[in-house]
Amino acid sequence: MCLGIPGQLIDIVDLSEHRAIADVDGVRREINVNLVEGEPGGIKVGDWVLIHVGFAMSRIDEEEAARTLSFIKELGSLYDDELAQFAAGGSEVPMDETGAPLAAPAEPEPEPEPEQVAS
Amino acid sequence: MRFVDEYRDPAAARACVAEIEHLAADLVQKRGAHLKFMEVCGGHTHTIYKHGIENVLPPTVELVHGPGCPVCVIPMGRVDDAIAVAKAPGVIFTSFGDMMRVPGSSQSLLEAKAQGADVRMVYSPLDALKIAINNPDREVVFFAVGFETTAPSTAVTLLKAKEKGITNFSVFCNHVTIVPPVKAILESPDLRLDGFLGPGHVSTVIGNHPYRFVPGVYGKPLVTAGFEPLDILQAIVMLCRQLRDGRCEVENQYTRAVVDQGNPKALQTLRDVFELRPHFEWRGLGFISQSALKLNAAFEAYDAELKFEVPGVRVADPKACQCGEVLKGVIKPWDCKVFGTACTPETPIGTCMVSSEGACAAYYNYGRFTKQQTVPVQLTSTPAKVG
Amino acid sequence: MGDLDGQDGHGGPPSREDVVLERIEAFRRRRPKLRDEFINSAHGAGGKASAALIDAVFLEAFRNPTLETMADGAVVTLPSGDRLAFSTDSYVVKPYRFPGGSIGHLAVHGTVNDLSMMGARPQWISAGFIIEDGFPIAELRDIVADMHEAAVKAGVEIVTGDTKVVDKGAADGVYINTAGVGVVPAEVSLDPKRVQPGDKVLVSGKIGDHGVAVMIARGDLNLEADIPSDTAALNGLVEALLAAAPNTRFLRDPTRGGVATVCNELARAAEVSVVLQESAIPVRNIVNGACEILGIDPLYVANEGKLVAVVPAGEADAAVAAMRALPVGADAAVIGEVRDEPPGIVIINTVFGGNRIVDMLVGDPLPRIC
């Protein structure tokens, strides 16, 4: 399902009762960390966790998060011209009837990047 | 806000969209038809509409909203059962906010509350347990809904209740599992989908392996996706690349929160507390076997269905309802004969209109005019002025 | 199948989707229907259910042209030719004391603000109290002190009132009704009908504080956050705004139902489209965080010290500057504009570059998990 919010652990209240305090942008709530105590290395103050209905569901891996973002930003360098077009004139790219973009880029098909796909 | 704002960066979005356009254009030329990807999670439907992702995507890529809303799929008869329990003398009935407005055959929990039933909204099942501890002379019932994301929270709460010897607490269990409805959709003969966006938060619990049947048996790629707009776009890029490369596998886009093996502790709590019902009725999809959870024998004393008299009457959806077809992505909301007239968010007939993540409600509430190109607002008096 | 007129696709037969959209719009234009037999909390939330109730029960019975304008208050013309604005509001907030203020502050600010939204200079307020048996007099004194403080700051006087005591359990402690009158200067003319495409939509500061503050103060959600209510009197702000932007078309304070509801009311009354720019809407980070956790949208959350203004494009910068010169308008900003299509609809351009409809609220914004 759904509404899971990243929050940072700012206090461990009682580990035997699995109680901790998480902070989301300045809002604090007690959460139950039972489900993440088994994470490798245990959990500690400063860790980021995904919170759902008052429970920490998993620890958010900051390295993976950074990798995901950089993968996405990598894409940008392949399409500098188009991005300039976007910046100038809104999000529409002219298409023909099959949905293929008109005025295909003149440059050759870019080499596939060494796969940065996070998996 | 960390881990959220960066995933809503419009500049990065444009880069993703450009990649999607290039990939999709090639694929569409080879296939002769546009690409259709289904998401099976209410949270994804919500993000897609909230951020207007569909009108950022090229027309070559279509997102189909599947049966991912665990609130919407609860049949009216079960809501009636919940209301019956809520009206039992001395009961404090606790529920998540989403369920309060879902209508049963004659009223919703919110309306029952207005008539005097002690219905209280809670954010967490632990809050419900706390109410039970603070009100020892009342029976407190928790309306448990949700997929495998939420079920472990109910399980931990029950483990805690048992450990502390709390006896005035019980759970009306309507947890459902994600794999059976996805299978039901894939079995549908009129379906044409090119791939799936996997439910990111369910996967924090069950991992990615349970989806292997999707490429393995049905030949469709699946990418487990997070819930920020960039997550969804990146997952679409990954799906398109699979199609381009001729691969068909389960991939994980949501690596910052999901690992392949899921959360073993959470899965263990599910085994400790629940067992699978032989079958369960899904609004719009009919009876699906082994698709829902109930409390196992060790937790009988906490099962609200055993503690209270529930009518247990099956209430069929009205004949006019075409939710099944919408859920499978076969028709669009506006194709349904009752959409927008007899069936509206205020007067919902079927599951797709019931909660704001249902395909029809989302389209009605947020998406009716989203085909419009986004024309930015000028935020100062005159164009030349520097803000 | 019908004729295929236009080569550009616009003249072709309407698609099934177009037909359904038109049907929905026709449906929405109809007067809201009240189907309920009993009042429920949705009727007080300020959205569709409230509108249906007001229309079907109150308007139906009291029908007169002044009432039908359905503004924050009424403007009546005295025999002298002066225009008098007259407004009333009831305060039932629970808990009656919360970070940033109390029911007392709300009671005075609320009526002062309603009068200001009509362009009036608020002067005289009445206060009616409905008090629960057993309510501590010391707390009543505190609330009344808050009202006095608010009145002095706003430059108004509480000149008449009433007190009733009801059974224990019947009033959440205390309910207060205030009503107020003030003169509308001759040169002021605020009317949604004056709104035109091209006008800018402004807000006077960061939104969502009050509703979230009260939700947290109730305690059921077990959240802790330093979010005080924004309750404040806006009459000074309105005077400054009208001086800098004399052609201001419309003012309304986004209380129950939030900015989204005000924009929808505006779009319907003026038969225009309101387009908001998400990136321009000021919200405190911590309020955003609380809304994220709860799954509610700040656009629908109540404010008690903010206003929404529609001004001609040429006066927008001056309007913003005038508001920012006062503490209560420190974060004023242009958040959107008025367009002619699609009429009656509010759309938001998302941070992400997409867009979606911002519809009327159906009931109370309930926190979601899903």
Nearest to B369 among C16, C39, C345 (CB): C345
How do residues C44-103 score in pLDDT, each as one tens digit?
A: 776 777 888 888 888 889 888 888 777 778 999 999 999 999 999 999 888 889 999 999
Top mean-pLDDT range of B113-117, B163-167, C347-351: B163-167
Q: How far apart are CA B200 and CA B193, in angstroms?
A: 19
Provide the pLDDT for residue C31.
66
The interface residues of chain B toward chain A in range 99-138, judged by CB-CB distance below 8 A, are 123-127
Average pLDDT over residues B184-209: 91
C370 in Cβ contact with B43 (< 8 Å):
yes
Say what the pLDDT of residue B351 is. 75
Question: CB contact, 8 Å: C286 with chain A?
Answer: yes
Instruction: Report residue B361's pLDDT band, with 50, 70 and 90 as the boundaries.
Output: confident
Please tell me if residue C71 touches chain B, with a CB cutoff of 8 Å. Answer: no
pLDDT tens per residue, range A69-114: 787 777 766 655 555 555 554 334 443 344 344 443 333 333 333 3
A24 with C292: Cβ contact below 8 A: yes
Task: Annotate B262-285 with b (16+ C-beta within 10 A) or e (fewer).
Answer: bbebbbebbeebbeebeebbbbbb
**Cβ separation B126–A67 shorter than 8 A:** no
Over residues B6-23, mean pLDDT:
86
Contacts of A25 in chain C (CB under 8 A): 285-286, 288-290, 292
> Could you give the CA distance from residue B228 to residue B43 in angstroms, rounded to a whole number?
10
Q: What is the model's pLDDT at position B2?
A: 66
Taking an 8 Å cut-off on Cβ atoms, the answer to whether B365 and C357 are in contact is yes
Res A2: pLDDT: 54
Question: Per DSSP, what are the bridge partners of residue B140?
Answer: B92, B169
Contact B191, B328 (CB under 8 A): yes
User: With contacts defined as CB-CB under 8 Å, which chain C residues touch B71?
Assistant: 370
Q: Is C166 near chain B, with CB under 8 Å?
A: no
Classify C70 in phi/psi space as left (phi over 0), alpha (psi -120 to 50) or beta: left
Average pLDDT over residues B276-288: 89
Q: Is the dihedral of CA A104, A108, A112, A118 positive or negative?
A: negative
Residue C36: is its pLDDT beyond 90?
Answer: no
| Pairwise pLDDT comparison (B203 vs C66), residue with the higher score | B203
Diameter of chain B by CA atoms?
Answer: 73
What residues 27-56 of chain B have any CB closer than 8 A to a CB of chain C? 42-43, 46, 49-56
3-state secondary structure chain C: CCCCCCCCCCCCCCCHHHHHHHHHHHHHHCCCCCCCCCCCHHHHCCCHHHHHHHHHHHHHHHCCHHHHCCCCCEEEECCCCCEEEEEEEEECCCCCEECCEEHHHHHHHHHHHHHHHCCCEEEEEEEEEEEECCCCHHHHHHHHHHHHHHHHHHCCEEEEEEEEEECCCCCCCEEEEEEEEEEECCCCCCCHHHCCCCCEEEECCCCCHHHHHHHHHHCCCCEECCCCCCCCCCHHHHHHHHHHCCCCCEEECCCCCHHHHHHHHHHHHHCCEEEEEHHHCCCCHHHHHHHHHHCCCHHHCCCCCCCEEEECHHHHHHHHHHHHCCHHHCCCEEEEEEECCCCCCEEEECCCCCEEECCCCCCCCCCCCC
C131-161: b (≥16 Cβ within 10 Å) or e: bbeebeeeebeebbebbeebbebbebebeeb
Residue A1 has pLDDT above 50, yes or no: no
Q: Model confidence at C354, in pLDDT bands (50, 70, 90)?
A: confident
- Which value does ipTM take for this structure? 0.89
CB contacts of B337 in chain C (<8 Å) are: none
Helix (H) or strand (E) segment spanning residue B36: strand B35-39
B197: CB partners within 8 A, 6+ apart: B37, B38, B39, B40, B41, B44, B63, B222, B223, B224, B225, B232, B235, B236, B239
Q: List subunits contacting chain B, requiring 3 or more Cβ pairs under 8 Å.
A: A, C
Q: Would you call C224 an interface residue with chain A, using a CB distance cutoff of 8 Å?
A: yes
Mean pLDDT of C361-367: 62
Instruction: Give residue-wise pLDDT tens across range C152-205.
Output: 999 999 999 999 999 998 878 899 999 999 999 999 999 999 999 999 999 999
Are the beta carbons of A62 and A83 closer than 8 angstroms?
A: no
Minimal Cα–Cα distance from B78 to chain C, Å? 19
Q: Which residue in the set A28, A30, A53 is minimally distant from C225, CB to CB?
A: A28
- pLDDT for res B344: 86
Interatomic CA distance for residues B154 and B158, integer angstroms: 6
Q: Do C285 and A91 touch (CB under 8 A)?
A: no
Q: B135 versus A42: which is more confidently predicted?
A: B135
Percent of chain B with pLDDT over 90: 58
Tell me what pLDDT residue B375 has: 83
Q: Which of B387, B365, B49, B10 is nearest to C200 (CA)?
A: B387
B contacts of A1 (beta carbons < 8 Å): 41-43, 68, 70, 146-150, 199, 201-202
- CB-hemisphere CA count at 13 Å for B29? 10
The predicted structure's pLDDT at residue C368: 54
Contact B372 C347 (CB under 8 A): yes
Is the model's pLDDT at B292 over the cut of 70?
Answer: yes
Q: Which residue of A has its CA nearest to C355?
A: A91
pLDDT at C238 over 90: yes
Put simply, whether B70 touches A (Cβ < 8 Å) is yes
Classified as helix, coil or strand, B95 is strand
Q: Is B58 on the interface with A (CB under 8 A)?
A: yes
Q: Tell me what the mean pLDDT of segment C337-343 comes to.
A: 92
Q: Up-side HSE of residue C320: CA atoms within 13 Å toward CB?
A: 21
Q: What is the mean pLDDT of residues B117-125?
A: 93
Structure tokens at C223: 């959240």
User: Which value, to the nearest 10 degrees, does the dihedral of the CA atoms of residues B281, B282, B283, B284 take?
Assistant: -110
Tens digit of each residue's pLDDT (9 = 90 or more) over A42-55: 889 999 999 999 99
Q: Give the nearest chain A residue to C293 (CA atoms).
A: A5
Q: Which of residues 296-355 of B touch C (CB under 8 A)?
A: 332, 334-335, 339-341, 344-347, 355
B278 falls in which pLDDT band (50, 70, 90)?
very high
Average of per-residue pLDDT values in chain C: 89
Task: Express each pLDDT in C112-142 by its tens digit.
Answer: 999 999 999 999 999 999 999 999 999 999 9
* Residue range C285-291: mean pLDDT, rounded: 91
pTM (2 decimals)?
A: 0.85
Classified as helix, coil or strand, B2 is coil
Chain B touched by C362 (CB under 8 Å) = yes
Chains near A (3 or more Cβ pairs under 8 Å): B, C
Model pLDDT, residue C250: 96
Q: Does the distance separating the beta carbons of A34 and B265 come in below 8 Å? A: yes
Return mean pLDDT, chain B: 89
